[in-house]
A = this chain, B = another copy of it.
Amino acid sequence: MKSKKITQKTLKKAGLPPESLVYVGDKIKKEKVRITLFSYNEKDFEEKECADIEECLQFIEKKNNVKWLNIDGVHDTRIIEKIGGLFNIHSLTQEDILNTEQRPKVEEYPEYIYIVFKMIYPDGKGNELLFEQISIVLGADYVITFQEAEGDVFDPVRDRMRTGKGKVRTMGADYLAYLLMDTLVDNYFIILESFGEKIEDIEEILLTNPQSGTLHKIHNLKWNLLFMRKSLWPLREAINNLIRSESALVKKSTFLYLRDLYDHTIRVVDIIETLRDITSGMLEIYLSSISNKMNEVMKVLTIIATIFIPLTLVAGIYGMNFEFMPELHMKWTYPAVLLFMLGVGVGMVFYFKRKKWL
């Protein structure tokens, strides 16, 4: 269950001075930090993996190039501090990068814009969602991305850089930041797609044979949608802030792209809302199908009891040991009683048929 995870990460930090650089995140993501650098302009392109940030320095200082520095793993506070020093990143931003429980947001600082996004992917079993925080620092001619672990959804962007496909090599750092955000938002659609499939499965079960396990499936879906909504809802405002920002770091020409990104974000949130409504509807159907089943069971019980209990009384009466029961001594009474019982039984069945209980 995820309820614990929501709150636990933040705990480690409480009690420390506000700008203390302490990593707050899941331990399972703590592998070695990997630093990769892309440096490019329309003609030039370099890609490098650096063992340490110093190794990358000469590339970073190159003028006229857009630099994309990607850090996989934010648990090594020393590296974050070094990069922070190099790029003049405020200690509060550094703290936010390390604390991976931020809400998506856009914060303007004089020398850079700090953007927090969530990367979402299903866990191995496909029942839960994992949320990874992506911090994007957009400077004048560089973009730095901090990820919690290796593996991301940015490979298409990398491919386009390498091959020079698309506009990315001809545009500035702000376009690169846009491209990364757009890729992340595109990824949300894929996650939602898989939800659509799950909903279809549950709908089919609901129509045929709803069971108590179905309820847990619906709730699992509901909670996944809830967590996803919580993670993406602030995006709208964040991107809107970016659009209305007057920072020189975002060029006019990028405006149309950001508006498009905003549009996508609204659509994501919209789809989540729709899926939530559908999930609620499925819950209602599930609950009333339980009621209906109960009704069915009760009807069977009532029909059986109503037919057989009176007949049992009749049999009981003729099982009494009174001395003077003249009908017991007549030849035709036994078959008559049997016929009478059959008649009552059949009559009852017809009665229930007419009342639509059968």
Given A92-B257, A166-B19, A271-B7, decide whether A291 and B302 contact each other with a Cβ distance below 8 A: no
A257 to B105, CA, bound (A): 16
- A315 contacts the other chain (Cβ, under 8 Å)? yes
Contact with B along A257-283 (1 / 0, CB 8 A): 101100100110011011101100101
Whether the pair B356, A192 counts as a contact (CB closer than 8 A) is no
Chain B CB within 10 Å, residue with most, of A10, A209, A215, A281: A10
Q: Which residues of B contact A11 (CB under 8 A)?
A: 189-190, 193
- A297 contacts the other chain (Cβ, under 8 Å)? yes
Q: Which residues of B contact A152 (CB under 8 A)?
A: none
**Closest beta carbon of chain B to A135's beta carbon, Å:** 14
A319 to B330, CA, bound (A): 17
Within 8 A of B (CB), among A180-231: 182-183, 186-187, 189-190, 192-193, 195-197, 199-200, 203, 209, 212, 215-216, 219, 222-223, 226-227, 230
Q: Which residues of B contact A289 (CB under 8 A)?
A: 212
Name the segment of A57-65, A75-83, A333-341 touching the other chain: A333-341
**Closest beta carbon of chain B to A110's beta carbon, Å:** 10
Q: Which residues of B contact A266 (CB under 8 A)?
A: 103
Whether the pair A4, B328 counts as a contact (CB closer than 8 A) is no
Whether the pair A322, B328 counts as a contact (CB closer than 8 A) is yes
Number of chain A residues close to chain B: CB under 8 A: 124
Whether the pair B165, A274 counts as a contact (CB closer than 8 A) is no
Whether the pair B305, A301 counts as a contact (CB closer than 8 A) is yes
Q: Which residues of B contact A275 (CB under 8 A)?
A: 3, 6
Whether the pair A328, B319 counts as a contact (CB closer than 8 A) is no
Name the segment of A35-43, A121-129, A306-314 touching the other chain: A306-314
Chain B residue nearest in CB terms to A336: B322
A356 to B289, CA, bound (A): 15
- A292 contacts the other chain (Cβ, under 8 Å)? yes
- A346 contacts the other chain (Cβ, under 8 Å)? no
Given A8-B196, A304-B306, A329-B323, decide whether A288 and B290 contact each other with a Cβ distance below 8 A: yes
Would you list 7 pairs from A and B whose C-beta atoms are within 8 A, ordered by A residue?
Answer: A1-B203, A107-B259, A212-B292, A226-B278, A286-B288, A300-B306, A320-B334
By Cβ-Cβ distance, the 8 closest A-B pairs, closest first, are A315-B316, A17-B166, A318-B320, A14-B186, A322-B334, A301-B302, A7-B196, A4-B196
